[in-house]
């Protein structure tokens, strides 16, 4: 089966009809496969999906996310992960299974307002997703600037095999930790580089749907800063 050209679609619009599998952001109604969101339809290999241009973050297993601690109980911390579901970080993830932690122990490790890089462990929607900060490059974030973009722009920011983000990092001398939930932490020794990196990210957020985005970003990075 041939692949059809990508098309702009809105909720309720018929993408195609016939023997196709309805995948992400589509449903089958009678013979037709329709889009459920605003996005770009993608038909190939007998299946239809829509790449979203809208929408918030839905937690998925193994996603790396940036979270903000909002509260804690004696058993876990709760983190705002920029989603309609909050992330639960069990105390045992930090203290080990048998350690029984007091409230002071909890706050000393992670307090309200602290930012963390975490991974989604279990994203079943019948309860809040479990997250972990034990792992390479995970844990409390002490420095850098927090930037927020729409989660559906994250793939564009990363680029094919990481090409876009690597271009930004190398040309501005900065490091960007990208959360799949649209939260990013940008750090750099060079304040101008930091500013440029953030501007590049904002440009991608605004122009994600435009074809020559890579050229635009390249041009922006190469221009002299004020």
Q: Residue 111 interacts with other proteins (CB under 8 A)? A: yes
CA pair distance 146, 168, nearest whole angstrom: 16
Q: How far is the CB of 165 from other proteins (least distance, A)?
A: 20
**What is the secondary structure of 9-47 as a DSSP string?**
E-TT-EEEESS-EE-TTEEEETTEEEESSSEEEEEETTE
Is residue 155 part of the contact set for other proteins (CB under 8 A)?
no
7-36 mask for other proteins (x: CB under 8 A)? -x-xxxxx----------x-x-x----x-x
Residue number with CB closer to other proteins (2 or 12)? 12
What is d(CA 183, CA 179) in angstroms, rounded to the nearest whole number?
Answer: 5
Alpha-carbon distance values, 174 to 36, 76, 144 (Å): 38, 33, 10
Selected range binding other proteins among 46-54, 92-100, 101-109, 217-225, rule: CB under 8 A = 46-54
Q: What does the binding site for other proteins look like in residue numbers (CB under 8 A)?
A: 8, 10-14, 25, 27, 29, 34, 36-38, 52-56, 68, 70, 80, 84-86, 111-115, 125-126, 141, 143-146, 152, 185, 206-207, 209-210
């Amino acid at each position: 089966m041939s692949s059809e050209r990508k098309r702009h679609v809105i909720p309720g619009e018929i993408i195609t009809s016939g023997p196709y599998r309805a995948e992400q952001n589509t449903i089958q109604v009678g013979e037709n496969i329709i889009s459920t969101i605003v996005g770009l339809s993608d038909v190939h290999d007998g299946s239809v999906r829509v790449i979203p241009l809208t929408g918030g973050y839905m937690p998925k297993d193994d996603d790396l996310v940036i979270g903000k601690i909002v509260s804690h109980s004696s058993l876990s911390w709760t983190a705002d992960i920029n989603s309609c579901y909050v992330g639960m970080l069990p105390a045992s993830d930090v203290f080990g299974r048998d350690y029984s932690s007091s409230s002071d122990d909890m706050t000393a490790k992670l307090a309200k307002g602290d930012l963390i890089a975490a991974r989604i462990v279990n994203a079943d929607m019948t309860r809040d997703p479990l997250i972990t900060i034990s792992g390479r490059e995970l844990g409390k974030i002490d420095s850098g600037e927090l930037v927020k973009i729409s989660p559906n722009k994250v793939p564009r920011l990363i680029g094919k095999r990481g090409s876009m983000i690597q271009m930004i990092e190398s040309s501005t001398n900065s490091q960007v930790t990208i959360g799949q939930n649209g939260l990013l932490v940008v750090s750099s020794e060079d304040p101008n580089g930091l500013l440029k990196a953030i501007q590049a990210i904002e440009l991608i957020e605004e122009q994600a749907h435009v074809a020559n985005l890579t050229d635009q970003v390249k041009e922006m990075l190469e221009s002299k800063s004020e």
